[in-house]
């Protein structure tokens, strides 16, 4: 548990499945955590689940609103006295065929998944530089590395977030800022709950994943903590796929007589 001189992390989407596990894992690493989300009930659930402590604080904010987004780092600094780590984890996803996707859906997805991480980074970085450095971890997706059907806005936003990660690393690395990303594969969360009721879909996930399974939110949180920590002190501009090997290549079980499908 973090003490008064521990590092401070701001985690967006902290009310969600992956965000709450990131908060738990950062806290377990001794980091104080600012939980941010638009959904106040979800924020309260995460805070209750993590348990009491003055190393945690909740901040309601709608990341679709630039003014609220840009104001978050200062709210966190006012509360904790500093901000060392930003985890851009909040995200939304539309699963709509390209030709049915409206410009409004496109813009909303890009606003939350790409514009907000930019606005937050821009607001957080000057204070980080002033205090001697900082770390940013962006939660992208394997859909930002490979194209997926019916996810034009989501895949485009996550691909943009991967490039924002690299530009931030290149532009701010000489000022003590490290910026990296994780690109999760299929994680069992409410966002993907519809997958797990269908035998066809779970078989398809297994068929595409060399490790033959999907993962839980904690398996995303642990690489995020690594990227925030001293063991990653020379890691900058990296994108770590956390997808069981999905985007490493084509699993291609049907091309080989060897693997037996269960
Ligand atoms: N679940 C997966 O399989 C998966 C795979 C790859 C990447 N991801 C990414 O991981 C991240 C977390 O996803 P999750 O599965 O935990 O989803 P989730 O829906 O459980 O959590 C997302 C959180 O973001 C918050 N949020 C949404 N819009 C917001 C806004 N305007 N302002 C503030 N907060 C807002 C939601 O309230 C929610 O608490 C997302 O960026 C997602 O794209 C998830």
On whether the CB atoms of residues 187 and 216 are closer than 8 A, the answer is: yes
Query: Is residue 62 within 6 Å of ligand 1 at its C-beta?
Result: yes
Residue with the nearest Cα to atom 1 of ligand 1?
187
251 is catalytic: no
CA of 88, closest atom in ligand 1: 41
What pLDDT, on a 0 to 100 scale, did the predictor assign at position 6? 96
- 3-state DSSP helix/strand/coil % of the chain, to nearest 5: 50, 15, 35
> What global pTM score does this model have?
0.96
- For residue 147, pLDDT over 90 is answered with yes
Instruction: Please give the CATH topology (third level) of the domain spanning 8-188+216-240.
Output: Rossmann fold (3.40.50)
Determine the residue of 13, 119, 164, 201 to mutate for testing ligand 1's pocket, defined as the one with the most ligand atoms within 8 A of the Cβ atom: 13
- For residue 262, pLDDT over 90 is answered with no
Query: Is residue 244 within 6 Å of ligand 1 at its C-beta?
Result: no
Structural domain spans, the chain: 8-188+216-240
Q: What Cα–Cα distance (Å) separates residue 172 from each residue in 29, 166, 239?
A: 25, 10, 17
CA of 42, closest atom in ligand 1: 39
pLDDT tens column, 167-226: 999 999 999 999 999 999 999 988 777 777 788 888 989 999 999 999 999 999 999 999
User: Residue 260's pLDDT band (boundaries 50, 70, 90)?
Assistant: low
């Amino acid at each position: 548990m973090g003490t008064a001189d521990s590092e401070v992390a701001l985690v967006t989407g902290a009310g969600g499945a992956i965000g709450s596990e990131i908060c738990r894992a950062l806290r377990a690493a001794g980091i104080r955590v600012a939980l941010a989300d638009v959904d106040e009930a979800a924020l309260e659930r995460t805070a209750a689940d993590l348990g009491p402590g003055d190393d945690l604080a909740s901040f309601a904010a709608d990341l679709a609103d630039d003014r609220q987004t840009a104001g978050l780092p200062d709210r966190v600094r006012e509360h904790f006295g500093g901000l060392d780590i930003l985890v851009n984890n909040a995200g939304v996803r539309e699963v709509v065929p390209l030709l049915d996707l409206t410009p409004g859906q496109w813009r909303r997805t890009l606003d939350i998944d790409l514009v907000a991480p930019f606005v937050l980074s821009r607001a957080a970085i000057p204070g980080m530089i002033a205090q001697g450095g900082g770390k940013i971890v962006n939660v992208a997706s394997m859909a930002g590395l490979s194209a997926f059907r019916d996810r034009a806005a989501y895949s485009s936003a996550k691909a943009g977030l991967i490039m924002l990660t690299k530009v931030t690393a290149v532009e701010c690395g000489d000022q003590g800022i490290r910026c990296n990303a994780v690109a999760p594969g299929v994680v069992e969360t409410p966002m993907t709950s519809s997958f797990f009721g269908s035998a066809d879909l779970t078989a398809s996930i297994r068929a595409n994943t060399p490790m033959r399974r999907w993962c839980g939110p904690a398996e995303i949180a642990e690489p995020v903590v690594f990227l925030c920590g001293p063991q990653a002190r020379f890691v900058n501009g990296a994108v770590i796929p956390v997808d069981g090997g999905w985007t490493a290549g084509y699993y291609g079980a049907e091309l080989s007589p060897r693997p037996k499908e269960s």
